[in-house]
Copies of this chain bind each other. A is one copy, B any other.
Amino acid sequence: MAFNKRVKIKAVLDQNLIGQEITLMGWVRTKRSNKNVSFIALNDGSIITNYQVVADPNLISEEILKKCSTGACLKVSGIVVESQGAGQSSELHAKSIEILGEADPEKFPLQPKKHSLEFLRDIAHLRMRTNTFGAVFRVRHALAFAVHKYFNDRGFFYIHTPIITASDAEGAGEMFRVTTLDLKNLPKDEAGGIDFKQDFFEKETNLTVSGQLEGELAAMALGEIYTFGPTFRAENSNTTRHLAEFWMIEPEMAFYDAEDNQNLAEDFLKYVINYALENCAEDLQFLDQRAADEEKAKPAEQRAELGLIEKLKFVVENDFVRLTYTEAIDILRNSNHNKKKKFQYLIDSWGADLQSEHERYLVEKHFKKPVILTDYPKEIKAFYMRQNEDGKTVAAMDILFPGIGEIVGGSQREERLDRLTQRMQEMHIPEEELWWYLDTRRFGANPHAGFGLGFERMVLFVTGMGNIRDVIAFPRTPGNAEF
């Protein structure tokens, strides 16, 4: 059922409506006219393709045609006719055009020319009307739907974990404070400190950095669950890979060990990417061409070996490489890159945290495939990861993607109460704050695992965009909370 009287351009292109009278509504992308006819390229957001409206000046007044400028919103009624020219198979011969909303050519910022991504970021409220951002946000939608469909089809339950939390125990990064206290007149407690008992939640609260710990609670009841919600990091990182507000997907599964977890993550990533390939053909073709044009501007030796769609297919069709941190360190230490001191941080011993340059070397130079790195030193990983029998490593996994680096981080979780509390003590994490988390190890514990996927990194990978600010509608970064 359609709820309004227009036909979407996607539907016109998908069906054979030749000879039918229809009404289109959309925005003018371009118009070219001669004495005898005007051709208007109309876009309604349903698909990247513009639909050609043919307007005869004997039927449509000059005054109306003049207002059909780039950005104007039109209601066009007419007959679908087989196209004369190349390109589309049909076009609309207008019987009437109504101007729903004008767009003064002197003022409308999106004229039919190439605009820089930086410029478009400043007008993020309008940029979705461009080919590039229309494609990005349709693909983003498809990826989000694929996430829900994948888990739903497999009996996982979607859990909304809290956004505001009083727990700051995880230590995953700097946090944003949430408060209703009057900053100009902060209440004091008896000791002269701030009296958070008077705050909305009667204690200090922050924006969540991860839903994992609460997700585990749900998995310990429902079996397999996932979260998909916003998370926050108050880090002053002005990079092309960091946002202060981003969306995370965090599945947690009872009865999964580390290998089950790896199998799920690989299958999940391939499914979601393949869903985009199958459902976003037009948008990905456009983005593939766009990425190819970007590559041409680079020096030959920096160009990607695979085009965007080739790269996505390659990931879907090939097994990910799986190796341990220890094996990776050996490869890196013995690499010519290390010997020739091309790494900024040279690898000389076991235990070093891997930098982005090392991850990219493994993925892009050495294996030329996505990599699942496992069994990291416990010192560089979180307290909740399951301790391996060697006493040195934990059952962690990071999945590394070409051009992106870490796209997934996860682990088997430590289900043994004594090991978990011992590690918390070593890392100075207060047990009383996580009493509820520890309860799941006291009552009906079981081996379980999970991982987190930064959704915007996935969108970045699939769209081939270069800056994470260009794959979320209204990015939040240091100094920027516009719109």
Which positions in A face B, CB cutoff 8 Å?
1, 3-4, 6, 8, 10, 25-28, 44-46, 71-73, 100-104, 107-108, 125-126, 128-129, 133-134, 137-138, 140-141, 144-145, 148, 152, 155, 157-167, 174, 176-181, 183-184, 186, 193-194, 200-203, 205, 207, 214, 217-218, 220-223, 229-230, 232, 234, 236, 244-245, 247, 253-257, 260-261, 263-264, 267, 415, 436-437, 439-447, 472-474, 476, 478-483
- Bound CA–CA A200/B482 (angstroms): 13
A-B contact pairs, 9 of them (CB 8 A): A3-B253, A25-B254, A28-B444, A125-B439, A163-B245, A177-B178, A179-B179, A180-B234, A436-B483
Q: Is the pair A444, B27 in contact by a Cβ cutoff of 8 Å?
A: yes
Interface centre among A183, A439, A447 (most CB of B within 10 A): A183
Q: Is the pair A176, B183 in contact by a Cβ cutoff of 8 Å?
A: no
Closest to A109 in B: B443
Interface centre among A126, A200, A472 (most CB of B within 10 A): A200
Shortest CB–CB separation between residue A455 and chain B, in angstroms?
8
Q: Is the pair B178, A207 in contact by a Cβ cutoff of 8 Å?
A: yes
Q: Is the pair A163, B164 in contact by a Cβ cutoff of 8 Å?
A: no
Q: Is the pair A245, B162 in contact by a Cβ cutoff of 8 Å?
A: yes
A255-B25 contact given A158-B145, A230-B230, CB 8 Å threshold: yes
By a CB distance below 8 angstroms, the chain B residues around A25 are: 254-255, 446
Other than the given A128-B222, A160-B247, 13 more pairs (CB < 8 A) read A4-B253, A27-B444, A71-B443, A100-B445, A125-B217, A126-B217, A126-B221, A145-B148, A160-B473, A162-B481, A174-B180, A178-B178, A230-B230
Q: Is the pair A478, B442 in contact by a Cβ cutoff of 8 Å?
A: no
User: CB < 8 Å: which of B1, B161, B482 contacts A166?
Assistant: B482
Shortest CB–CB separation between residue A152 and chain B, in angstroms?
5
User: CB < 8 Å: which of B126, B134, B221, B472 contacts A160?
Assistant: B472
- Bound CA–CA A446/B221 (angstroms): 48
